[in-house]
Structure 1
Amino acid sequence: MRKTIIASLAAITLSLPAAAQEFPPGQVEYIIPFGPGGESDITARMQQPFFEALYDEQLVVSYKPGGGGAVGWSQLNSMAADGSVIMGINLPHIILQPQQGNVGYQTDDITGVYIFHYTPDAIVVPTDSPFQTLDDLIAAAKESPRKITFSGSGKGTANHLAAIRFDQMAEVETTYVAFKGTAAAVTAMLGGQVAAEWGYTTVGVGQGDQVRLLAVAMEDRHPAFPDVPTFRELGYDLVSGAYRGIAVPRDASEETRRAVSDTIGKINADPEFQKKMLDGGFALTDVAYGEEMDAWMKAKADEFIPAARAAGVID
């Protein structure tokens, strides 16, 4: 009789619908596929206290550097898919890396659930530069093709692609000099090795009175630089930068994917978080999981891939 009751209870249990998985399941590991100290790390640290205030659970930032992010992204789908692991993603990296060769993952392998900010591209010059405006720089570039030099944070980066696209739009030929990272590009610009830098709005915040921004690649002016025009204001349809977001392992349930997306959206909507980001020179954006993300990723691929081909970064 007892065995019959147990068997009946087991059958009832099996017939019940599975309970929706709660998020977070406990402590969450937030993996940055780069070393500490970069902008991916900085913004993750900004998100930490807001996550913990929402859930009274820890968001533990860890690092898995290598291959410009490829080491971490190639391992993402082997990680726990219960919401206990999330990973930072960067564009144009996850679009262009698989186009350049075998990096252990394809763009479609990455399950992005939210894009929460970007570092807008900007043309930056030293304060003693003869270029007071973007028109000044364009005029000089037209007068002396390829003679106006820009530093930038490497080949195939957001800076590099912006330089290619802007030259096409402005019908000029400038020379882009790739340095190993933003810090080296800033040093080259301030040291007079180049005439200007294809940098980010964060360079303006970090360098203060040492630099002047000629234009920012945003839809609207950045609150930290209210006097600096956007490229669009000046007639160039350039809205670009280094985009960052969150991905989960491919096997994460639909509920987990949406829960993580909703969480990052809530943090992005917090006025205190927004102020921290804007004060740091970042720009907020909100691309949530689902059809919105799919359409956005396709649009970015259509934007980045032709520019990367023109730059000779991919075939």
Structure 2
Amino acid sequence: MAAAFGLLAGVAQAQEFPSGNVDYVIPFGPGGESDITARLQQPFFSDKFGQELVVSYQPGGGGAVGWSQLNSMAGDGSKIMGINLPHIIIKPQQGDVGFQTEDITSVYMFHYTPDAIVVNADSPYQTLDDLVADAKENPGAVIFSGSGKGTANHLAQIRFDGMADIKTTYVSFQGTGASVTALLGNQVKAAWGYTTVGAAQGEAVRMLAVAMPERHPAFPDVPTFKELGYDLVSGAYRGIAVPQSASEETRQAVSDAIAEINADPDFQQKMIDGGFALVDVGYGEAMDAFMAEQSGIYLEAARAGGIIE
């Protein structure tokens, strides 16, 4: 009886989330999309659960430093970490980065920044067809900036070139900010960016197409790639992981808590206004299926582009 009581008490304790303030580790520096969304989540976490979501940063190696240390952290629900796709899929394929994809216990995916082709407001490309026509006439001469090698932007460029039967040139910059600066400075003809670039830059830029199943609510006049004949739905997905030592109950409790924030209409509106697109992938079979599908897509593109063998 004592053993049974102790087991029940342990389960009850594991399900009590949050039992105090939660350290939310972002494996990047401040100011990026991961940080922005964490800051948006903070007040909702406090209001709903009566505890603070304390954001901290552990940058390095494009996220690899943080992810390599995730499983050394406490698994009692006091530590959670931001994750990004395709980063946690592609990076371990490129070399020894201190973790493997299967080492990451993903418990919830809450949004993605849809890929988009972005041009300056005064660009001669009025439509996606204009850009494709130029690329067909001048192979390699249409130069894109992008947020890095092997990122969602880069993989989208590889996939789209194949779909459109064109050859464009992708120039890797260190992050979205640097890529957009290159675009605004006319160093490139276009950028593989995200819908968040459209939200941040406003009338200074024009998005030719977004990689979403349906048009983004904040940009009702921008067509999807699907509408234009290209089966491209892609972007950088973000979510939450916990240490492997976390119990099944703790994993589910963290997933449920973030899902509750994601379902809040006020939170949803803030995300939409920022150019993000919400997803709702919880812990368990749904997450396993999602990761398997995305891994297949990203790895195929990375191999086609020579990013990995």
TM-score range, shorter chain: over 0.9
Match of 1:300 in 2: 294
Shift of 1:25: 1.8
| 1:124–1:211 Cα contact (<8 Å) kept | yes
The partner residue of 2:158 within 158, 164, 185 is: 164
Shift of 1:73: 0.6
Match of 2:191 in 1: 197
Please give the root-mean-square deviation of Cα atoms over the aligned residues, in Å.
Answer: 0.8
> What is the distance in 2 between the residues matched to 1:194 and 1:34?
26
Q: Does structure 1 residue 279 correspond to structure 2 residue 273? A: yes
- Give TM-score scaled by structure 2 length: 0.97
Partner amino acid, structure 1, of 2:91: Q
Shift of 1:50: 0.7
> What is the distance in 2 between the residues matched to 1:302 and 1:15?
44
> What is the distance in 2 between the residues matched to 1:299 and 1:68?
23
SS at match of 2:36: helix
Match of 1:13 in 2: 2
Unaligned runs of at least 5 residues, structure 1: 1-11
Q: Does structure 1 residue 25 correspond to structure 2 residue 19? A: yes
> What is the distance in 2 between the residues matched to 1:55 and 1:187?
40
- Give TM-score scaled by structure 1 length: 0.95
Match of 1:141 in 2: 135
Partner amino acid, structure 2, of 1:13: A
The partner residue of 2:103 within 98, 109, 117 is: 109
Unaligned runs of at least 5 residues, structure 2: none
SS at match of 1:18: helix
Superposed counterparts of 1:144-155, under 5 Å: 144-155=138-149
Aligned residues: 304
Q: Does structure 1 residue 64 correspond to structure 2 residue 58? A: yes
Partner amino acid, structure 2, of 1:256: T
Match of 1:177 in 2: 171
Identity of aligned residues (%): 72
Partner amino acid, structure 1, of 2:266: E
Match of 1:4 in 2: none
Largest Rg, 1 or 2? 1
- Superposed CA offset, 1:271-292 (max 9, x none): 0000000000111011110011
> What is the distance in 1 between the residues matched to 2:183 and 2:91?
27
> What is the distance in 1 between the residues matched to 2:118 and 2:59?
29
Match of 1:43 in 2: 37
The partner residue of 2:215 within 208, 221, 226 is: 221
Shift of 1:13: 2.5
Partner amino acid, structure 2, of 1:170: A
> What is the distance in 1 between the residues matched to 2:180 and 2:30?
19
Shift of 1:194: 0.9
Shift of 1:120: 0.6
- Superposed CA offset, 1:137-177 (max 9, x none): 11111111111111111110100000000000011111111
- Superposed CA offset, 1:95-141 (max 9, x none): 01110111111100000000000111000001111110001111111
| 1:25–1:82 Cα contact (<8 Å) kept | no
> What is the distance in 2 between the residues matched to 1:141 and 1:35?
36
The partner residue of 1:120 within 110, 114, 117 is: 114
SS at match of 1:156: coil
Partner amino acid, structure 2, of 1:303: I
Match of 1:82 in 2: 76
